[in-house]
Amino acid sequence: MKPAYWITVYFLALLADIGMIVFDVPQARFITKPLLMILLGVYGWVLAGKLQYSSRNFIFAAVIFSWSGDVFLLFPQYFLPGLVSFLTAHLMYIGFFGWSKPRPKMGIVEKMAMVAVLGYAVIVLSMLYPKAGEMKIPVVFYTIVITSMLILAVRAFGFGAPWYGVRCILGAFFFVVSDTVLAFQLFYADFPFSGVVVMATYGVAQWLIVSGSLYYLRNRI
């Protein structure tokens, strides 16, 4: 089946999972949530086709670790393993962006974006650190990792990149947004529909990174 079929099913599953949050049916999420990364992985596999680049393994590893993170976080007592799973997924994306051919020269826009990301990390940590309790060190480390992923995506592709490079940057950005909202939900203050925001940005982020990365490899010279 073509990639378009699998990504359509993926977004239908994402909408179903968000619906389970809205209508407060947590039991159904034991089906919808783990299904997401399985569908995205199949989509990525079909999209990758016969690509021989070993760097594609970073992408598939990130999807697998994201799946394990989704499953662990369905059980509150397994929050830490879930955190480690997503941390590893981010490291896989960092590995891919670090491997990708960087722009020959960083423009002023890219440099300003990187400074803004660093400033964002400082502000987030200043708000979360006092509230994190025993999770202070993991929160600091996780914040460093997710912002590094976004910075490396900007470094690798830049804002003047082809559409698939821009997808990677937007995906990394939405992943940071998703993780930030989740962190504030857990350690600072919850707000209405925060769960919807987390899953919507997470689902879109994963699709943007996976599709952008694999299309980059398909178009790489």
pLDDT in tens, 76-133: 999 999 999 999 999 999 999 998 876 667 788 889 999 999 999 999 999 999 988 8
Residues 6+ apart with CB under 8 A from 136: 129
| pLDDT averaged over every residue in the chain | 93
- Predicted confidence (pLDDT) at residue 221 exceeds the cutoff of 80: no
Task: For the chain, give the percent of residues with pLDDT over 70.
Answer: 98
Least confident interval from 96-110, 130-144, 165-179: 96-110
Residue type at position 163: W
Task: Calculate mean pLDDT across residues 34-59.
Answer: 92
- Predicted confidence (pLDDT) at residue 15 exceeds the cutoff of 90: yes
What's the pLDDT at 24? Answer: 94
- Predicted confidence (pLDDT) at residue 137 exceeds the cutoff of 60: yes
Confidence of residue 191 (pLDDT cuts 50, 70, 90): confident
DSSP 176-219: HHHHHHHHHHHHT---TTHHHHHHHHHHHHHHHHHHHHHHHHHH
Tell me the two tokens of residue 8: 């359509």
Residues 6+ apart with CB under 8 A from 214: 44, 47, 48, 51, 56, 59
The residue count of the chain comes to 221
Confidence of residue 55 (pLDDT cuts 50, 70, 90): confident
DSSP 119-153: HHHHHHHHHHGGG-GGGHHHHHHHHHHHHHHHHHH
Tell me the two tokens of residue 89: 């997924």
Contact between 37 and 70 (Cβ < 8 Å): yes
d(CA 142, CA 86): 9
Confidence of residue 3 (pLDDT cuts 50, 70, 90): confident
| Helix and strand numbers, DSSP H then E, in the chain | 8, 0
117 CB-contact burial (10 Å; exposed 0-12 / middle 13-18 / buried 19+): buried
What's the pLDDT at 102? Answer: 65
